[in-house]
Every structure is written in structure tokens, then in C-alpha cells.
Structure 1
Amino acid sequence: MNLNTDKNKMKNISIFTARMTEEKKEMVTGYLYISPFFILFTIFGLFPILFSFYLGFQKWNGLTEMEFVGWANFRFVLEDPLFWKSLYNTFIMGLLGTFPQLVVAIVLAFALNSALIKFRNFYRVSYFMPYVTSTVAVAVVFGVIFSEQESGLINVILSWFHLDPVNWTTSEWGVKFAIAAMVFWRWVGYNTIIYLAGLQSIPKELYEAAKIDGATLFQQLRYITVPMLRPFIIFTVFLSTIGAFQLFTEPLIFLGRSYREEGITVVLYLWREAFVNLSFGPASATAILLFFIIIIFSSVNVFLANRIGR
């Protein structure tokens, strides 16, 4: 009897051990599959972030030894008028390029979702094309469109209304409108596709019931579409806020290496400090300040977007 009991115990132990071994194998296999992402993120994402926080308190030109300077880099940045000018430019260009884009994207998505529009698939692809187009190519094309010469496309259109040509690369508001137009053109299609996906998830019975009750098209958009799209609006507002404060390629290509005060953004200011002036300390301090600015503005925008449709 004792012999049979011992055999059963040994059998149960061997089965348990085999199960544990299989579970460990599956666990190790799973971690191996997802490890490339975490390895690459640690090397190219987490380490630069942590190193920037460390570098913000150092004086370093990229070649010599680092020197701890405390809060000197932050004082330098906060006392620099060009930093505040870049923050102002970033905010204005982000507002001009982001808010209209979200409104137009909702209207376009509503139109594409309508059964009255023909060739909807063609329009969906057309609206999304600017997003997959190279940012450099977009900036070059818009640089020609917003040329300072009288033969520039926008200046020719202005001449039809007997308006003087605008110096788009040197005037205070000309630069901002030109760069905001690039941002608008490039991202409106992306947000349209996001909103279109949200619209297709709304039950059609709601619109049918609203039509029976005599709701107009505007009332359907206001009382059904916008409230039901609230999660998608929050998502796009969050991404648009981050993208607006990270504006870099468009002003760099459009203005060249002049770094004019009229169009310099925070990231362009950061890039100039790091790779032109070789002042990596102030550049890292700027990055840290921008990090907290993005958190604050994103939180405010998400809070406001969360109240839409209530």
C-alpha cells in the first residue's frame, strides 16, 4: 500500500514539474518575442530621456568633460527672450494649424460617411495621402506656393483681389500662416480617417430615429455625431497637442538655417542650441521644460475635449 502511494506521489510530482517546465518555456518564449521592442525602446527612447534629464544640469559641448552647473542652464533658457518668442510662435502656429484642422476633419468625415457622396473610397485615399507624403517634400512644395515673389501662387491669388504681395518668410504673421497651412494640410486627412472610423461605429438607428423626429443635419451632427465621437476627439486632441509643440521639420525647411525669430519654434530653438551652438546643457534644459509644458497643455486640452458633447 505504501509502495503504491509513493508511486502516485512521484507521478504527481513529475506531472507538476512537466507543467511548470512548459509554463516557463511559454513564458520565456513570450518574453523573447516582445524583447526587441523593449530593447530598442530602452536604447533609443528611455536612455536619451534619462540622459537629457541628467544633461540639463551639466555644461557640455559634446567633446570636453561635463561640468555640473546646477540650475544655470534653466536660468539661461528662461532668461533668454528668444526662448519665449519660440514658445509664443509654437503656440500660435499650433493653434492656427490644429484647431481648424480638427473641425474640418469632423465635417469631412461626416461627409465621407454620408450615402450621398459618390466615389467615397477615392476621397478617403486622397485625404490620407498628405499624411504619408514626406514632410520635407511638403515643406519644399509649400515653400514654392508661399514664395515671396509676386509670381508665387498665393501672392498671385492675392493680386486678384488687389492686395499687396506678402513676404511669407520674413513677415511676422506670414511665416506663421504658411507653416500652419502645412500642418493643416498634412494632418487633416489623418484626423478625418480617425473620425470616419468613429462615425462608422455609431449605430445607424440613432440617425434614423433623429430623422423621424425631424432633426436637421446640423442637429444630427451636434447631438449625435459629436457626443458619440468624444473618445476619438480626445485622442486626436491629445496627439495634435503633442505634435503642435514638437513642430520642427516644417519651419526648418521653410525658413532654412536663418532661424528667424518670426518662425522659430521651441524644438528648432532646442536644435540650434545643441547642434549649432554646441550647448547641450541649455538644449537639454529646453527639452525638460518642453516636456512639462506638453504635459500641462495636453492635460488642459484633454480636460476641455472631455467636456465636449456632455
Structure 2
Amino acid sequence: MAAINHSKVKKKRFMSEEKKDRVSGYLYIAPFFIIFAIIGLYPALFSIFLGFQKWNGLGPMTFVGFDNFKVVLTDPLFWKSVYNTIVMGIMGTAPQLVFGILFAYLLNLAFLKFKNVFRVTIFMPYITSMVAVALIFSVLFSDHESSLANYVLTLAGLDPVHWGTSEWGTKIAISIMVFWRWVGYNTIIYLAGIQSIPNDLYEAATIDGANKFQQLFYITMPMLKPFIILTVFTSTVGALQLFSEPTVFLGTSAFTRDEAMTIVMYLYRDAFKLQSFGTASATAIILLVLITVFVAINTLIASGYGRKKRGESE
């Protein structure tokens, strides 16, 4: 009888409430970490390992050290892709942040009717299929003189542009596509930020005689600072990973032309067109370094702004 009671006590201690809570907590979060390790962590670590190997995807791997990085960094096409990525990123990202704030401010005005209709309309491009986007922009920016873009240029007294074949015509068309797809996404984020600003601030500013533009620049913009930093960060990372828009707009000729080649397109071409997975992985590592640099810059800007504001308040 004493032995039975002793075993019950040991079992009771082993299955204490604290330990059961801890085990159940680990079981709840385990699926996320398992899936992340399989489809996230392992491919990333394997890509870093592959950056120092020569491999065509089928045969044995050969260790080559930093030769893959030398090949990439001495390739003029890679630097062309870096230039294209930065130029199209700036042209497509900077306007959408500015217009996103303006659209969000307009959508939050009290006297505006059919707000929900406008909000859904401006968000629709973000959820539109890339196939539909390709069809729309292939018609809008056709090389033919009767295309809508060339027709507008003709009305303005300008010459038609070969959007699909010229250097800057291609960059401008792709940048407009990026702007069209993502401005609604940033608008919704800014709209959520504006709606979190207390109305008392606007009422006090109105009593003091501030007009709408003064309220926008002296109340809305400073209060939106965290949201602006977030969208600048995400937009910068997205711009450095630009891939879908150029490939969709240019179609089958996307990987054979230099004027719209981006870093991710260069990576994809090496891996799946040339079967050079070593240089493709080296390009991915270099892209990771570039993204990290931009993340560090954004973090320094955000922290510096915070210290400045605290210093002024003191």
C-alpha cells in the first residue's frame, strides 16, 4: 500500500500543473517552428553553403571558396542589375509613399462621401492577379503609337515612346506598374495611422485657426512618423527584391535584356536558366548584405529622430 501511494506521489509530481502548462505551450508553438525550419531556415542555410560551391543542380558539388562572389562582383550585368533595381525602386517607391499619405488624408475627411467605395477601389490593385496586370499594362504601354500612353504624350505635343524596347521607357513603365500595385497598400496603412490620431488635436488646431494643410504638416505628418518608417522600410526591401513586375511586363524576353534586369532576375537567370546555383546563391548572399545595410540605415534614422525629439522636449 505504501509503494502504491509512493508511485502516485511521483506521478503527481511529474505531471504538475506548471509542467503541463509549459509542455502544452511548447506544443502550441511547435508547428510554426517546424514549418519555419523546413521552408525557411534550412533553405537559407543551404543557400549560404551553396554560395561557396560549384553545382549545376544534379551533379556533385565542388568547393570553390569565394570564386562565385568574384564571378558575380566582376560581372558588368550584375552591376547593371543593381543600377536598374535602385533606379526603378526609387521611381516606383518614393511617389507611392507621398501619394499614399495624401490619399489616406483625403479618405479620412469627414465630408467625403462613399468612403468605403474609394477605399476598396484604391486597394484593388494590390489583390489583382499579375496576369490581369500584365494584360492591362501591355495595352497601356504598347509600342504602337495608338496606345493610351503614347496617345496622351501625343496630346501633350511629345513624341511616342517605345515602352517595351527603350531603356528609360521600360523603366518608367515598370515603375508606374509598381506604383499602381502598391500605393493602395501604403494608403491603407497610413489611413489606419491617421485614424489612431486623437480628434482633440485637430479640434484644438481648428480653434487656433490652423487650416487643413497646416494640420496635415504639423499634426498628421509628425504623428504618422512610426507608420512612415515602417512603410519606408518595407517598401525599400520590396524594391530590392523587385521581380514580378519586370518579368510580367517584358514576358519571355525579360531575362535576355539588360535595361530592366534586377538583382533577383539576375539571381533567377543564373539558377534556372544557366544552372549555376553557386553564383545564384552568392548573388542571394550579396542581396542579403544590401538589404541589411538598408535596414541598418533605416534603424539609425529612426533612432536618431527619437533622440532628437527627446532632446528637444528636455
The TM-score with structure 1 as length reference comes to 0.91
How do 1:229-248 residues align onto structure 2 when only pairs under 5 Å count? Answer: 229-248=224-243
Report the AA paired with residue 282 of structure 1.
T
Aligned-partner SS, 2:123? helix
Residues 67-78 of structure 1 mapped to structure 2, 5 A cutoff: 67-78=62-73
1:134 Cα deviation after fit: 1.8
Shift in Å, 1:214: 1.3
Query: 2:16 is paired with a residue of what secondary structure?
Result: helix
Q: Does 1:190 align with 2:185?
A: yes
After TM superposition, the structure 1 = structure 2 runs for residues 169-180 of structure 1, keeping only pairs within 5 Å, are 169-180=164-175
Aligned counterpart for 1:41 among listed residues 36, 45, 51: 36
Corresponding position: 1:299 with 2:283: no
- 8 Å CA contact 1:146–1:152 kept in 2: the answer is yes
- Say which SS state the counterpart of residue 170 (structure 1) adopts: coil
- Opposite residue 233 of structure 1, the aligned amino acid is I
Partner amino acid, structure 2, of 1:293: L
Aligned counterpart for 2:13 among listed residues 8, 14, 17: 17
Aligned residues between the structures: 301
Query: Is 2:204 the partner of 1:209?
Result: yes
Higher mean alpha-carbon deviation, 292-301 vs 276-285, is at: 292-301
8 A Cα contact 1:73 1:282, kept in partner: yes
Where structure 2 has 5 or more consecutive residues not aligned to the other structure, the ranges are: 1-5, 310-314
- 2:266 is equivalent to residue 266 of structure 1: no
Letter in structure 1 aligned against 2:105: F
Deviating above 6 A after TM superposition, structure 1's stretches of 4 or more consecutive aligned residues are: 13-16
Per the TM alignment, residue 203 of structure 1 is displaced from its structure 2 partner at its CA by: 0.6
- What is the rounded CA distance, in whole Å, between the counterparts of 1:70 and 1:224 in structure 2? 54
Partner Cα distance (2:89, 2:116) in 1: 30
1:15 positional shift: 10
Q: Judge which range, 292-301 or 272-281, deviates more.
A: 292-301
Match of 1:102 among 97, 117, 126: 97
Partners of 2:261 and 2:268 lie apart in 1 by 11
Task: Give per-residue Cα distances to partners, 1:103-149, cap 9 Å, x unaligned.
Answer: 10001111111102111111111111111112332133212211111
Deviation track 1:150-187 (CA, whole Å, cap 9, x = no partner) reads 12111111121232211111111111111111111111
What is the TM-score when the length of structure 2 is the normalising length? 0.90
Q: What's the C-alpha RMSD, in Å, of the aligned pairs? A: 2.2
2:246 aligned partner: 251
What residue identity is the alignment partner of 1:66?
M
Which one is further off, 283-292 or 151-160? 151-160
Distance 1:279 1:71, change over 3 A: same
Shift, 1:227, TM fit: 0.8
Residue equivalent to 2:312: none
The offset of 1:14, in angstroms, is 7.3
Displacement of 1:33: 2.3
Q: Supply the distance in 1 between the matched residues of 2:35 and 2:11 (Cα, whole angstroms).
A: 38
Structure 2 residue identity aligned to 1:295: T
